[in-house]
Structure 1
Amino acid sequence: MREAAEVQGGGSANPKASGLGQGGHVNDSYAVPPILKQYWHTALRWRWLIGAIIAGALAVGLIVTLLTPARYTASSQIEISREQKKITNVEGLDSATADSDMEFYETQYALLRSYSLGERVTRKLDLARRDDFFAAHGISLDAERFGAADQSNLTAGQLAAREKLATKLLLDNIEVSPVRRSRLVDLSYTSRSPTLSAQVVNAWASQFIAASMDRQLASTADARRFLEERLGNLRARLEQSEREAVTYASRNDIVTLDAVRGTDGKTQVQRTMIQSDLEALNTALNAARADRIAAESRLTGRSDDDNVDALTNPTITQLRQKRADVASDYAKMIVRFEPNYPTAKALMMQIKSLDEAIARETARVGNSRAQSYREALKREQDLGAQVAALKGRLDEQQHDAIQYNIYQREADTNRQLYDALLQRYKEIGIAGSVGVSNIVVVDPAGVPSAPSAPSLPKNMALAFVIGLALAVIATLALEQIDEGISQPGQIQQLFQLPLLGHVPLSDSSVTEGIEDPKSYFSEAYFTIRSNLAFTTDHGLPRSFIVTSTQPAEGKSTTSYALARIIGRTGKNVLLVDGDMRSPDIHHLLGLDNAVGLSNALAGDDNVAALIRSTPHKGLSVLTSGPKPPSAAELLSSDRIRHLVGELQGMFDHVIIDAPPILGLSDAPLLGRAVEGAVLVIQAEGAAVRGVRAAISRLRMVNTHIFGTVLTKIKASELAYGYGYGYGYGYGDDVENKAA
């Protein structure tokens, strides 16, 4: 078994460099246990406190559940559509794309929780005057501030205070829960009255719809008032611009005969009076010119007898026909009678008369052609002059038309704006008069038949969670306050010193535990001895002190146990009780303390006579001796060095049980005379800052610290990761014997 312990205690000749801890394992795998295991050990240390806090929280939860009045929750479900139902094709004020954004639904949810909606519900149900409403929420009203139970004589201030309180209660107890990925919203209200809860939820939904419609109508009314004001301004501007256009046209003699309005709403003037007159005169001028050319052509054409006018003149035609008839009769008469025949002569005279008449008519026709030419020429000249004059006037009018068009465009623009606003005004009036909401009630609330709270399972679960949280907080706080060492793994983390081993807390005596080589106590110190053998290059230190930060940490027990264990290995060991102030080694060995170390330091050179043998193998002891007046003065001399050197010549190993470090100078003085020191630390004993101060004092006098020994570890620590089982079942033994 010792060989097994040696193997487990081995690994390096210098545990400070190699980081050896209990059992020879390196610190990376042993000194720093997993974080969950650390938490588990912490929980085990404070398990009674944790249990008490959780039990208290559960008790409080149970009491609160039993004392809390029953509460009833009524629920309703509404649907909020992104677009309103279209009764008409007239567009409203909101854009079609605004409602598709997520902000729309967030706005609706905020409106469902708004204070104004709570006020509407309060006034709708007249909650301010209902004492049962306040009683359903456990509110007892102050008669001086809120009025008496008889609400018939409430003042305006008391009624306002009641409404404010009722609205606050509504908002505190209403719950708005949107259904994910849908248009549905769940509304629920909780109170001590099931009927009241159902009334409030249904009123909340209906008032939300009414408030939404009121906002629509209000926005429409505001828009109508705005448009009315704008229409009045535009009407005045339109009348003014049209008046300016007409006045300018009248002043500049611009008479429009044909004006049309284009598709863009602008007035387009087709013709003015001057343009129409010029067009007519130009047509007449062209006709007159044609007549003059024709008259001139007739005038300069054939002779009078052959011209067309003569040939076509009816009078001449008749005369010529009559002459032809008379000439025919004359020709017949000549055939039968002589030219001088009276009848023949009469016919000749008639012919001459007709010829003269034809000649006169032909001449008259020729004169008429000249007259017609002169008249046509005169008419052409007059029309040309008039056309020229109208061209000048038209040119002036076109220059004036530039400013006229400016007036006309302004009038057209004002007319377009006026028409557009008038059309929008009519559309908004139609849309606002149709009251349709995009919110509908899917499931109205019914009167709940069973209370929703308090729920014993939920409250107990909540109490357990709260108790657990408080227990965790308390445990962490106590862990921060507690500066003691609770786990072996903390040694390397806090002090950067190797852990030679740790010793469990036991209710058995030291001598009983060390006598049995198979006991957990003996095995623990054998492991410490094995690890101590690797602290120097020559093996187990020849001389060292065993000290601690403060008294009662187990240094004397450790000194005695190490001396016994080393003696068993065949070495001659001298155990020196260096604590001359409070000696304890002679009690462990059952010896008197008549002579000892104080005598040797005081001048007794016969050291061998002062050393006593013991019945234990390889173990001798030098007790502390009589208590000196000043132990520090004795240890300050060089005699302690010579004494230790002399003792090393007599024994293989010298172990000195030194006094505690803090408050005394004995241990540092003893540390100068030996190879090094073993620092004993009690689990959950000395504070970390005290241990660090002790280590600092030893290092100030250049005392080499071989390592630390953690003593008095509780059985829970041994049972969960720090035991000495090694396959021999010592863990169970520790659990049974631990104090």
Structure 2
Amino acid sequence: MNVVSTNLYTGTPKGAMPTDARGVEADRMPLIRQYMRIAVRWRYVILGIIATCIILGLVTTLLMTPKYTALTTVEISRESDKVTGIQGVEQEVSVADQEFYQTQYGLLKSRSLSERVALQLRLVDDPKFFELFGKNGGETALEMVNGQYSAAGRVDRQRIAGEILLKNVNVSPTRLSRLVDIRFTSPDAAFSTKVANAWAENFIQTNLERKIQATSYGRNMLQRQLGQLKERLDQSQHQLVAYASAQRIINLPSLSGGDGKTTSERSIVADDLAALNTVLSQATADRIQVQARYEQAGRAGASTEALRNVAINNLRQKRAELAADYQRLMTQFEPGYPAAKAIQSQIDQLDRSIGREESRVSNSLRADFREAEERENALQARVNQLKTNYLDLRRRSIQYNIYQQEVDTNKALYDGLLQRFKEIGVAGGVGINNVSIVDAADMPQKPSSPRILLNLVIALFAGVALAAVTAYALEQIDEAIADPAEVERRLGLPLLGSVPKVDNATPKEALLDRKSDLVDAYLAVQTNLAFTTEHGVPRSFAVTSTRPAEGKSTTALALASTLARGQRKVILIDGDMRSPSVHHLGGVDHNLGLSNFLTGRDDIEMLTFPMTDLGFTAMSAGPIPPNAAELLMSNRFGVLIDRLLETYDHVIVDSPPVMGLADAPLIASHVEGVIFAIESHGIRSSMVKTALMRLVSTNARILGGVLTKFEARKAHYGYGYEYGYGYGRSEQGKASGG
């Protein structure tokens, strides 16, 4: 698999420095896979924490004291049952008033209610109660003298008892209903039942007492106001009477009619004026009628009254009969005929009688007219006088009306308060309540806690949460390179391959076995190394690491061996002149080697020795110089590389570690590239980044990294098989590393 892009390392590592591990990881791996990787990596820690939490939860549950919960259900109505039609002082709430219920819930959990229950159940002086809840010491009020509590601490014990009850009571309203559940929990089932029932009963009693107290307070307040209004009413009435007496204002009292209407108070003048005005109107009408009859009689000569007079009508009828007799005689006799003259005399006599009667009727009409006229004038004069008196009364009644309004106002206020005072007295005497017990508490038959299953579930979730936090924290703290993929994610370094950890054999023995996993791994490294340059495997390269014992010498030896097996001429130089190791593999000493050439000796062939079993030539470090860095700073090391490339296909330098030494950067500046060995689970990524930075600062070309001592069983996702070879055929031993 080609894991190296040639355009990434054209002289400097990717990005000129190792990229941020988290940023690369976030860009290249989905979030769920990151979490899965963390979980798999720290699976034993996670499982251990979860198992510990479950065991602790189980042990804690078994050690817990069983507790019993008693339940009492009460109903809190918005409106009280109406025993009377009279309201008390407290106003009833509307249907949508949620503040009312929140207030009731708060009252159910009030300190005063808890202390009231403690007093009623005589818990204040009961040592068993305090011992039941672990309050048998530590409080001055709970100190006992001769087996009894002191009277001086009774108030404090009452407070403590109330706090204990409040801690163990639970008030939970039922949604969309007026029901409220009151639960009390304690180690004693009978005690829990007793407290739950007492809690509900005392709540109902306190509710009644609050209503009575509010009504009593309202009555007292109204009684004081009634006394004040009574004084004001008496004062205003005396003021009104005194003013009416001084101004001689006499008003008739109000009257109630048969239709239920009440007339307002009225004055005598107004009544007299109204009555006389009515009589005047009637007199005027009578006068007009008499006047019309009188004027008619004067115009027509014979008035209607005369025509209706019986005496005149009888005289006229008698005259008509005599006139008829006279006319009959005239047909036969002369007017001087005695009988005719007698009849004529009777007719004349009747005419005079009729005239006298008509004159009497006319005089009677004239007398009636004058009488009606005089009566009208007299009434008109009296009405005018009453009008004057009434206007004067109106002027004098302005202040009187003001006093009267003040009297009426005070009387209305007094009557209203008096009525309300009587209503409150009736309402306060009736025990109305809007709270009732629906279900009294029964003695619980089984403990409410501890609940093993629930506690285990809680312990499981707590363990999972704690394990997740711990794993994430360890992931943030841990800087070890665990998997091959982390080489690129954490360091920004192309991975050339991962090398298994060998056990029960030396690296040389493992390399001699061509079927070993170590050989397969380094063949993969060599294959990937061939893609780092245009001409394949670099002709000269160094192998280094951050610190000693990371497997760099083994890597250099293995690459030299695999290249030699490819029919290439290879030389391996031991560049670590401070702690040489290559000569041990060849079974020679290091009397002749690299340090000799750097100090001026030119016969290269005398400084090398063959590694016959591995198929390549090697050069030891030579005698250990006083200061290896000074030798490497000369141009002799570059000359050595050039001269060796004339003879060999590949020159491999086993370089010293980077940290703390200047040798590795100096060597890296003379070779075509550097291979960086990284120990799996053995070194922090921050140290590797620092080492890489030192190489970058010398313009060294880093070809890639090799993950050494890798154990597939510790990998996150089985990277051993992902890279084309498996390490599970046999248990591998620990690789020694130079």
TM-score by length of 1: 0.80
Amino acid at match of 1:188: R
Does residue 211 in structure 1 map to residue 206 in structure 2? yes
Amino acid at match of 1:633: E
Amino acid at match of 1:565: T
Aligned ranges 1:632-647 → 2 under 5 Å: 632-647=629-644
Q: Choose the corresponding residue for 1:199, options 176, 194, 201.
A: 194
- Return the offset for 1:170: 0.9
Aligned ranges 1:55-204 → 2 under 5 Å: 56-58=52-54, 60-91=56-87, 98-141=94-137, 145-148=141-144, 154-155=150-151, 157-204=152-199
- Return the offset for 1:630: 0.6
Q: Which residue is equivalent to 1:587?
A: 584
Q: Do the aligned residues in 2 keep the contact of 1:504 with 1:718 (CA within 8 Å)?
A: no
Q: Which residue is equivalent to 2:714?
A: 717
Cα deviations by residue, 1:427-459 (Å, 9 ceiling, x for unpaired): 444444433433333332222333344444444
Which range moves more in the overlay, 687-696 or 282-291? 282-291
Amino acid at match of 2:719: Y
Q: Do the aligned residues in 2 keep the contact of 1:72 with 1:191 (CA within 8 Å)?
A: yes
Q: Which residue is equivalent to 2:496?
A: 500
Q: Do the aligned residues in 1 keep the contact of 2:499 with 2:708 (CA within 8 Å)?
A: yes
Cα deviations by residue, 1:701-725 (Å, 9 ceiling, x for unpaired): 1112222222233343337332136
Q: Which residue is equivalent to 2:663?
A: 666
- Return the offset for 1:217: 2.9
- Return the offset for 1:400: 5.8
- Return the offset for 1:555: 1.4
- For residue 565 of structure 1, give the secondary structure of its aligned residue in structure 2: helix
Aligned ranges 1:226-237 → 2 under 5 Å: 226-234=221-229
Q: Which residue is equivalent to 2:601?
A: 604
- For residue 678 of structure 1, give the secondary structure of its aligned residue in structure 2: strand
Q: Which residue is equivalent to 1:13?
A: 6
- Return the offset for 1:158: 1.0
Cα deviations by residue, 1:592-645 (Å, 9 ceiling, x for unpaired): 322111111111111233222222565221221111111010011111122222
Cα deviations by residue, 1:341-374 (Å, 9 ceiling, x for unpaired): xxxxxxxxxxxxxx99999999999888777665
Cα deviations by residue, 1:465-491 (Å, 9 ceiling, x for unpaired): 545544444444444443333333333
TM-score by length of 2: 0.80
Distance 2:188 2:730 in 1: 62
- For residue 712 of structure 1, give the secondary structure of its aligned residue in structure 2: strand
Does residue 629 in structure 1 map to residue 622 in structure 2? no
Q: Do the aligned residues in 2 keep the contact of 1:563 with 1:655 (CA within 8 Å)?
A: yes
- For residue 694 of structure 2, give the secondary structure of its aligned residue in structure 1: helix
- For residue 391 of structure 1, give the secondary structure of its aligned residue in structure 2: helix
Cα deviations by residue, 1:95-120 (Å, 9 ceiling, x for unpaired): 66535344444333333222222111
- Return the offset for 1:581: 0.6
Q: Which residue is equivalent to 2:251?
A: 255
| Aligned CA distance change for structure 1 residues 405 and 572 (closer, same or farther; 3 Å) | farther
* Aligned length in residues: 694
Q: Choose the corresponding residue for 2:487, options 461, 477, 491.
A: 491
- For residue 629 of structure 1, give the secondary structure of its aligned residue in structure 2: coil
Q: Do the aligned residues in 1 keep the contact of 2:73 with 2:180 (CA within 8 Å)?
A: yes
| Aligned CA distance change for structure 1 residues 297 and 470 (closer, same or farther; 3 Å) | closer
Q: Which residue is equivalent to 2:344?
A: none
Cα deviations by residue, 1:669-717 (Å, 9 ceiling, x for unpaired): 1111112222222233333332222122111111122222222333433
Aligned ranges 1:440-479 → 2 under 5 Å: 440-479=436-475
- Return the offset for 1:141: 3.3
| Aligned CA distance change for structure 1 residues 410 and 33 (closer, same or farther; 3 Å) | same
Q: Do the aligned residues in 2 keep the contact of 1:15 with 1:535 (CA within 8 Å)?
A: no
Q: Which residue is equivalent to 1:338?
A: none
Q: Which residue is equivalent to 1:620?
A: 617
Q: Which residue is equivalent to 2:512?
A: 515
Q: Do the aligned residues in 2 keep the contact of 1:575 with 1:622 (CA within 8 Å)?
A: yes
Q: Do the aligned residues in 1 keep the contact of 2:169 with 2:185 (CA within 8 Å)?
A: yes
Distance 1:11 1:125 in 2: 84
Q: CA RMSD in A?
A: 4.6
Amino acid at match of 1:549: T
Q: Do the aligned residues in 1 keep the contact of 2:4 with 2:494 (CA within 8 Å)?
A: no
Amino acid at match of 1:677: V
| Aligned CA distance change for structure 1 residues 716 and 610 (closer, same or farther; 3 Å) | same
| Aligned CA distance change for structure 1 residues 267 and 597 (closer, same or farther; 3 Å) | farther
What percentage of residue pairs aligned between the two structures are identical? Answer: 43
- Return the offset for 1:133: 1.0
- Return the offset for 1:167: 1.1
| Aligned CA distance change for structure 1 residues 396 and 491 (closer, same or farther; 3 Å) | farther
Cα deviations by residue, 1:124-164 (Å, 9 ceiling, x for unpaired): 10111111111211321358532427676732x31112111
Q: Do the aligned residues in 1 keep the contact of 2:576 with 2:621 (CA within 8 Å)?
A: yes
Distance 2:177 2:510 in 1: 75
Cα deviations by residue, 1:268-294 (Å, 9 ceiling, x for unpaired): 748643333223323433454456563
Which range moves more in the overlay, 76-85 or 406-415? 406-415
- For residue 552 of structure 1, give the secondary structure of its aligned residue in structure 2: coil
Q: Do the aligned residues in 2 keep the contact of 1:668 with 1:703 (CA within 8 Å)?
A: yes
Q: Which residue is equivalent to 2:531?
A: 534
Aligned ranges 1:385-400 → 2 under 5 Å: 385-398=381-394
Q: Choose the corresponding residue for 1:653, options 629, 650, 654.
A: 650
Cα deviations by residue, 1:505-527 (Å, 9 ceiling, x for unpaired): 33243223333444332232222
Amino acid at match of 2:194: Q
Q: Do the aligned residues in 2 keep the contact of 1:177 with 1:185 (CA within 8 Å)?
A: yes
Cα deviations by residue, 1:13-42 (Å, 9 ceiling, x for unpaired): 34659989xxxxxx9899955555555554
Does residue 556 in structure 1 map to residue 553 in structure 2? yes
Amino acid at match of 1:597: L
Distance 2:200 2:561 in 1: 88
Instruction: Could you tell me which runs of 5 or more consecutive residues in structure 1 were left unpaired when the two chains were aligned.
Output: 1-7, 21-26, 325-354
- Return the offset for 1:664: 0.8
| Aligned CA distance change for structure 1 residues 679 and 275 (closer, same or farther; 3 Å) | same
Distance 2:224 2:135 in 1: 51
Amino acid at match of 1:253: I
Amino acid at match of 1:711: T
Q: Do the aligned residues in 2 keep the contact of 1:178 with 1:185 (CA within 8 Å)?
A: yes
- Return the offset for 1:665: 0.7
| Aligned CA distance change for structure 1 residues 82 and 536 (closer, same or farther; 3 Å) | farther
Q: Do the aligned residues in 1 keep the contact of 2:68 with 2:449 (CA within 8 Å)?
A: yes
Which range moves more in the overlay, 356-365 or 469-478? 356-365
- For residue 128 of structure 1, give the secondary structure of its aligned residue in structure 2: coil
Q: Do the aligned residues in 2 keep the contact of 1:259 with 1:269 (CA within 8 Å)?
A: yes
Q: Do the aligned residues in 2 keep the contact of 1:72 with 1:448 (CA within 8 Å)?
A: yes
| Aligned CA distance change for structure 1 residues 489 and 413 (closer, same or farther; 3 Å) | farther
Does residue 275 in structure 1 map to residue 270 in structure 2? yes
Does residue 544 in structure 1 map to residue 541 in structure 2? yes
Distance 1:358 1:471 in 2: 148
Amino acid at match of 2:628: A
Q: Do the aligned residues in 2 keep the contact of 1:524 with 1:724 (CA within 8 Å)?
A: no
Distance 2:715 2:551 in 1: 18
- For residue 729 of structure 2, give the secondary structure of its aligned residue in structure 1: helix
Distance 1:513 1:31 in 2: 39
